[in-house]
A and B are shown apart, each in its own frame.
Chain A
Amino acid sequence: MTFEWLHPFLIATALLLAAVGAVRRVNLWRAGQPESVDFVAGLMAMPGRYLHDLHDIVERDKYMSKTHAATGGGFVLSLLLVVLVHLFGVQNQILAWALLASLALMFVGAIFVFKRRLNPPSRLSKGPWMRLPKSLLAFSSAFFILTLPMAGVLPEGAGGLLLTIVLGVFIAMGLSEMLLGMTWGGPMKHAFAGALHLAFHRRPERFGGGRSTGLKPVALDQRVLGVQKPEDFKWNQLLGFDACVQCGKCEAVCPAFAAGQPLNPKKLIQDMVVGMAGGSDAHYAGSPYPGKEVGQANGGPLLTITEGLIDPDTLWSCTTCRACVEECPMMIEHVDAIVDMRRFLTMETGSTPNKGAEVLDNLIATDNPNGNAPASRTNWAADQNLPLLRDVKETDVVFWVSDGAFDMRSQRILRAFVSLLKAANVDFAVLGDEELDSGDVARRLGDDATFQSLAKRNIAALSQYKFKRIVTTDPHAYHCLRNEYTDFAGDVFKGVEVLHHTTFLNELVQAGKLKLSRFKGGKVTYHDPCYLGRYNGEYEAPRELLRSLGIEIAEMERSGFRSRCCGGGGGAPITDIPGERRIADMRMEDVQTTGAELIAVGCQQCTAMLEGVVEPRPQVKDIAEILASVLLDDEAANDVENQLEEAF
């Protein structure tokens, strides 16, 4: 046959062009800032990361996971065999049959992809992504027919010239999508960038069931603080943006997007890609930022992101709830990117919106966000007779009070918790006036300088004393103490356990140190605080606590790792970007569908946000408050015991 050379030529050309594209793409990533990565270990771990960590997330959607396994697996296998069989011309019946099998697998997968694309949900991007199933089908079917003669099913040269040309067209189409698209920026880019992203991920701790949620500190002597231009990102962050498959899982869970605030995590990542490669977002074919038109944004690797590419309001809409990161099958770090860009806005341009500047000034001048007198931090406990670390020097448990000390509503939670600590005879003490704001808000608002100053002073205060555990009622402080102070702490936290009060109380209850009666009240639901759940993986202790009171939790549809944010995190109530609805109202609707009369919460910020919803609405109580309300004093406890004894 005269056109024998055609198909190998096509394959070779595609591979060559793909290699050129890959070099170009790699150079785009290399424009980013250096970050040390263990290349060898990363590459070695990559298949495992793909098969376990990534697939575990995809597995949440069974349809898609099976489809992807068939299509992706079939494709990878097919490509290898295609190179062997068709490019190098290895004549082997077994190989040919294997290739046929893998192509068939890919074909079946592609049909399901095709079906999904017939009536796609709004979260999926359209545009080139609508082309993909056709390309997949073309690739698999064309090579299938091309391989048939080699497997001995069809005679050599069957079909003649016409078939050769038709196949050539199909193969060209399939190869350009699958190979060129991979490195020159088509939908298949995700395979190339995604694989390397998994290998060189900035948070390798996340793989293998680990958790890495603390923000990375800023070196304060840098030329530019935070991210001004795309090239200010670390190179592996840029790589991560390229891994996006535009599946829109992040968009579907984003509370700000649902509230009509101008944020869509998927679009944000795509804009990062636009910035990295240069150009405009006109080709973007997914949902826009609510209230903003697509096609107006322009960027380039050396252009300031917030001038033309992304509206600062988009960045300030984020509540840092991490729902997008939790859902992302490619394990992209949206929150890191957002905070990096916020850092530039706050620390370089000084444009934290609304109350942001005031809160930061207060944190600097008074160590608390509302400018209260630092000496009044323990006023709430004037009647509590709390032991101070300054006096006792050594204790089992440090009760980290947090800024709830200044807020009258939160003080009720604090008092409830103290009453429980006292009832359980826990050896505890507080830092008193030596405690400062944890720095959570400052850090989320992008002021890492203030965060670091607060963190260092808090650590210095703690380092003077001996203790085994730190317990706090505030998940935000908990997160900072547990995950973010370690960058500055040296070995102050060595051998110290940081606990959220629900974990600690659960321990006490399970050990029988708290005598509690059963909860008498209506239906109860539990709202997972983001900084307790997604940030620290504590979903079970609060539930177990509630169950131990005889409460059967009426779970919301979005609970556990899928819990919807209350809207209070990441400084969102401070920056206060207008939307169409309020996040807290949406969360309250979630609650109301369960018919619960009481919402159990483990966070003062969630309490404040949910109580801010206009009545009538269910009551909101911290778990400590619920526990304190059913706490039996000694006499009552004895009575109960006596009654039990009498009964037997």
Chain B
Amino acid sequence: MSDSDYSHILRRDPRGERIARNRLHPLHSTVAVQVAETLGPSGLLRKNPHAVGFIGPNGIKRIDRLKGNAIAITGRRNAQSSQEVLLPLHQVSEPDFTIVVVPDMVGGRLTAHDKDILGQAHQLARSMEAGVAGESTGAGAVMAVVFGVSKEESFDKAGVDRLLLLDGAEYEGYCPEQQVAALEQVEARLKPEYWLFPDSVHGGTDLGSRLAARLGERPATQAWQMNTETTICRGASGSTDITRDTPRLLMLAQECANPVDETRHEALSIEWAPVQAVLPELHDLGQVAVDPNAIPLAEAEFILAAGNGITNWEQFHATAKALGATEGASRVAVDDGNMPRFRQVGASGTWVTARVYLAVGISGAIQHMQGIGQCDKVVTINTDAGCDMVKRADLSTIGDAEKVLDELINLVDTYRQQALHNQNGEKEGAKNAA
């Protein structure tokens, strides 16, 4: 909760009002300010209509019979509503050293993981500025190297002091070789103090490993705690902690540090001579359209699961298709031959990790509940409000599954059509603008 919750309460200041009324009060001049009538440059008396009156406690403008002697208790409210918290700006004019962060930029935006790493970079910079063994290294800048088109608008708040945006055509798609060439140039010109990558499946690990191999650095991977001296990494597939000296190149785990939230940064774009295009040995043919049902159940992000309560299987499959969900099933649905065995969710089937699990007609046998233990959001359509699935679910609807699914298909269809319509509209708009 922010303090805005209290901001709507208007507090009267009786003392201020008293002083304002009393023109003889020594502090009167500091309180009564607004003068509605002034002598213009030509000698004419000018009336300022905006200054006439004041805003009353209930927000309605009142004519000021006190001739500006009433205290204006309005200011606070207006100020509050329009004021945005402006964080102090952290400036590094002439950096003595640089820490480079190469964020994942999934979908052109910083991920939470990227922000954690920027936070870590600033922690490093601050502790270096404070000095190792009393010897200060001067001011450091955190530089982000961003490939491809960026949609991010708040580099400043995430802690980017310097921004190197490489969005040429050669950086489109999957082009790790080109990216490494660019990073090599950064290394040659800036000699960064540290290289920080997110250790992630979104490309951070790949790029970090490539650069490490190229530079001959032995990187720290899956690092989750670090300072300028030592780093703790997860080893042996996450089952051991390796404590080691901090290397120059690190691939950091999620939540290694808190993101920057108390300062603003310059996010100064750096002018960079274009990197020579390398002849790639890998050619990106683009993402392959994957049928949601071809995604392994354990990996699927969104599962629509059917249980004993499903009677209309055609409709169920149609719903899965409309929603773009991977199909799952309870044991009973599989035993009855309505779904293949590899679709079974549960202790004896697949343990799923879906973000959203929509269970239709599944009452929730204990084995099934074990299988969905890692799901984020569970939604259920059920007839029995007392069943275990409803107890587990974040949202439950009690009623006829067939009707609800019908309605859901309609909603999704209209949503899709609208989206399509908007897209077309946008395209036309773009054309018109051109």
Q: Which chain A residues have a beta carbon within 8 Å of chain B's beta carbons?
A: 354-355, 370, 408-409, 573, 576, 578, 582, 612, 614
Minimum C-beta distance from B144 to chain A (A):
41
Instruction: Report Cα–Cα, A570/B334, bound state, in Å.
Output: 21
Minimum C-beta distance from B37 to chain A (A):
84
Known pairs A408-B370, A612-B331. 12 more at Cβ < 8 A?
Answer: A354-B341, A355-B348, A370-B347, A408-B366, A409-B366, A573-B348, A576-B341, A578-B337, A582-B335, A612-B335, A614-B308, A614-B332
CB nearest to B363 among chain A residues: A615
14 contacts between A and B (CB under 8 A): A354-B341, A355-B348, A370-B347, A408-B366, A408-B370, A409-B366, A573-B348, A576-B341, A578-B337, A582-B335, A612-B331, A612-B335, A614-B308, A614-B332
Contacts of B337 in A (CB 8 A): 578
Instruction: Report Cα–Cα, A614/B308, bound state, in Å.
Output: 8
Minimum C-beta distance from A417 to chain B (A):
20
Instruction: Report Cα–Cα, A355/B331, bound state, in Å.
Output: 15
Minimum C-beta distance from A577 to chain B (A):
11
- What 0/1 readout, one digit per residue, does chain B (322-361) give for beta carbons within 8 Å of chain A? 0000000001100101000100000110000000000000
Contacts of B331 in A (CB 8 A): 612
Contacts of A578 in B (CB 8 A): 337
Contacts of A354 in B (CB 8 A): 341
Minimum C-beta distance from A255 to chain B (A):
15
Minimum C-beta distance from A574 to chain B (A):
9
Instruction: For chain B, residues 354 to 383, give those with C-beta under 8 angstroms from any C-beta of chain A.
Output: 366, 370
Minimum C-beta distance from B228 to chain A (A):
37
CB nearest to A574 among chain B residues: B348
Contacts of B308 in A (CB 8 A): 614
Contacts of B347 in A (CB 8 A): 370
Instruction: Report Cα–Cα, A614/B334, bound state, in Å.
Output: 12
CB nearest to B366 among chain A residues: A408
Which secondary structure dominates where chain A touches chain B? loop
3 closest cross-chain pairs (CB), A and B: A408-B366, A614-B332, A582-B335
Contacts of A408 in B (CB 8 A): 366, 370
Minimum C-beta distance from A279 to chain B (A):
36
Q: Which chain B residues have a beta carbon within 8 Å of chain A's beta carbons?
A: 308, 331-332, 335, 337, 341, 347-348, 366, 370
Instruction: Report Cα–Cα, A427/B341, bound state, in Å.
Output: 46
Instruction: Report Cα–Cα, A576/B344, bound state, in Å.
Output: 13
Contacts of B341 in A (CB 8 A): 354, 576
CB nearest to A576 among chain B residues: B341
Instruction: Report Cα–Cα, A613/B400, bound state, in Å.
Output: 23
Minimum C-beta distance from B348 to chain A (A):
7
Contacts of B348 in A (CB 8 A): 355, 573
Contacts of A573 in B (CB 8 A): 348
Minimum C-beta distance from A282 to chain B (A):
32
Instruction: Report Cα–Cα, A261/B386, bound state, in Å.
Output: 37
Contacts of A576 in B (CB 8 A): 341
Instruction: Report Cα–Cα, A614/B337, bound state, in Å.
Output: 14
Minimum C-beta distance from A43 to chain B (A):
50
Instruction: Report Cα–Cα, A387/B331, bound state, in Å.
Output: 38
CB nearest to B370 among chain A residues: A408
CB nearest to B342 among chain A residues: A354
Minimum C-beta distance from B405 to chain A (A):
21
Contacts of A355 in B (CB 8 A): 348
Instruction: Report Cα–Cα, A354/B349, bound state, in Å.
Output: 11
Instruction: Report Cα–Cα, A355/B347, bound state, in Å.
Output: 12
CB nearest to A354 among chain B residues: B341
Instruction: Report Cα–Cα, A576/B341, bound state, in Å.
Output: 9
Instruction: Report Cα–Cα, A409/B365, bound state, in Å.
Output: 11
Instruction: Report Cα–Cα, A370/B371, bound state, in Å.
Output: 13
Contacts of A614 in B (CB 8 A): 308, 332
CB nearest to B340 among chain A residues: A578
Instruction: Report Cα–Cα, A370/B308, bound state, in Å.
Output: 25
Minimum C-beta distance from B381 to chain A (A):
19
Minimum C-beta distance from A589 to chain B (A):
15
CB nearest to A608 among chain B residues: B367
Residue from B308, B341, B348 with most neighbouring chain A CB atoms (10 Å): B348
Minimum C-beta distance from A604 to chain B (A):
14
Instruction: Report Cα–Cα, A578/B334, bound state, in Å.
Output: 11
Instruction: Report Cα–Cα, A247/B338, bound state, in Å.
Output: 37
Instruction: Report Cα–Cα, A408/B366, bound state, in Å.
Output: 8
Instruction: Report Cα–Cα, A408/B373, bound state, in Å.
Output: 15
Minimum C-beta distance from A115 to chain B (A):
42
Minimum C-beta distance from A580 to chain B (A):
9
Instruction: Report Cα–Cα, A35/B335, bound state, in Å.
Output: 43
Instruction: Report Cα–Cα, A531/B348, bound state, in Å.
Output: 22
Instruction: Report Cα–Cα, A143/B341, bound state, in Å.
Output: 63
Instruction: Report Cα–Cα, A526/B341, bound state, in Å.
Output: 31
CB nearest to A612 among chain B residues: B331
Minimum C-beta distance from A602 to chain B (A):
21
CB nearest to B369 among chain A residues: A408
Contacts of B332 in A (CB 8 A): 614
Contacts of B335 in A (CB 8 A): 582, 612
Instruction: Report Cα–Cα, A612/B348, bound state, in Å.
Output: 12
Instruction: Report Cα–Cα, A612/B333, bound state, in Å.
Output: 12
Instruction: Report Cα–Cα, A612/B308, bound state, in Å.
Output: 12
